[in-house]
Amino acid sequence: MREISTEIEINAPTAKVWAILTDIENWSNWSPIIKNASGSAALGSKLSITMCGKNDNAGPKYEPIITAFDEPTLFAWRATMMNGLLFTNGKIFDLIETESGTALTHKETFSGLMVPMMWNQMKMGVPIMLNSMNLALKEKAEKTSD
């Protein structure tokens, strides 16, 4: 398994960051990488995520299953192609309360036969996407009123 990890400090309470992250239906309103998202934030729940594509069109769509849900610190999911043989993608949001707010570690994990062929491209593109979502989350959470 391969992993790409990003981190950001958010000057907002962990409960507020958690509330934004688990409001899946509103992700497209603040995240620059999500075109559409639906589903319930609960262990075992299936989500429907459509990424933003080129020229603000819909990009790839996938349906991950929530594999970890420990309020208000850990939220993770996993999506597979062909039973995970070709490609498995996991996402992990790990929140830690700090003196100034919340430290977020945002990771994606990858496994399957396609990963070695795509790894160099993923190492360049995935951190950019994760960091853009992190910054948008930070901006939304640090607003004084919602």
Q: What percent of the chain has pLDDT over 70?
A: 97
Query: In sequence order, which residues have a C-beta less than 8 Å from that of residue 11 and are 6 or more positions away?
Result: 100, 101, 138, 142
**Which helix (DSSP H) or strand (DSSP E) does residue 58 occupy?**
strand 58-62
**pLDDT at site 51:** 92
Q: pLDDT by residue (tens digit) across 21-78?
A: 999 999 999 999 999 999 999 999 999 999 998 887 888 889 999 999 999 999 999 9
**pLDDT at site 82:** 66
The average pLDDT across 103-126 equals 96
Helix (H, G, I), strand (E, B) or coil at 142: helix
**pLDDT at site 125:** 94
Q: Where are the domains of the chain?
A: 2-141
Q: Model pTM?
A: 0.92
Domain 2-141: top CATH class: alpha beta
**pLDDT at site 59:** 83
b/e sequence 65-90, b meaning 16+ C-beta within 10 Å: ebeeeeebeebbbbbbeeeeeebbbb
